[in-house]
């Protein structure tokens, strides 16, 4: 029998949106010790997901098909279901214009591929 733990209830819950399953799996491994991580691969499903749950943060991949992370952030922020949690952009692209646009777009943080893994656990 699995032992009950309060850890699940004490950890912040984040929604990570990325169209690449491998990036989702790798990134979740970095976060799962300190966060409850829920994932979504379809940007069109995100609004349905936030309608049913309140998140402590939303992490959006910038380069996604159909709706990019910036347009998705605008849709989330204009939704009546959005609780005002931080929206964080993430991209593996080595383009300084993307990070500049993310930070001027109102993101609290931009996660680049150059952040050392241990820094994801700093609260």
- Please name each of the domains of the chain with its CATH number: 12-121 (3.40.50.2300)
Q: Quick one: pLDDT band at residue 9, thresholds 50, 70, 90? A: low
pLDDT of residue 73: 92
Q: Distance between CA atoms of 120 and 123, rounded to whole angstroms?
A: 8
pTM: 0.80
Run of H or E residues at 14: strand 13-17
Q: Is the predicted pLDDT of residue 70 greater than 60, yes or no? A: yes
Q: What is the pLDDT of residues 82-95, one digit of tens each?
A: 999 999 898 877 77
Least confident piece of the model among 17-26, 80-89, 90-99 = 90-99
Q: Distance between CA atoms of 111 and 62, rounded to whole angstroms?
A: 10
Neighbouring residues of 42: CB distance < 8 A, sequence distance ≥ 6: 19
Residue pair 92/23 in contact (Cβ under 8 Å)? The answer is: yes
Provide mean pLDDT across the span 40-57.
90
């Amino acid at each position: 029998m699995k032992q009950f733990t309060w850890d699940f209830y004490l950890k912040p819950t984040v929604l990570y949106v990325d169209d690449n399953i491998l990036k989702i799996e790798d990134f979740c491994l970095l976060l799962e010790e300190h966060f409850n991580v829920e994932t979504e691969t379809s940007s069109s499903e995100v609004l349905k997901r936030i309608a049913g749950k309140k998140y402590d943060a939303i992490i959006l991949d910038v380069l996604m098909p159909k709706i990019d992370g910036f347009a998705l952030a605008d849709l989330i922020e204009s939704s009546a279901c959005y609780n005002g949690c931080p929206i964080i952009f993430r991209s593996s692209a080595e383009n300084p214009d993307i990070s500049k646009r993310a930070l001027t777009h109102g993101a609290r943080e931009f996660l680049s591929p150059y952040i050392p893994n241990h820094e994801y656990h700093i609260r």
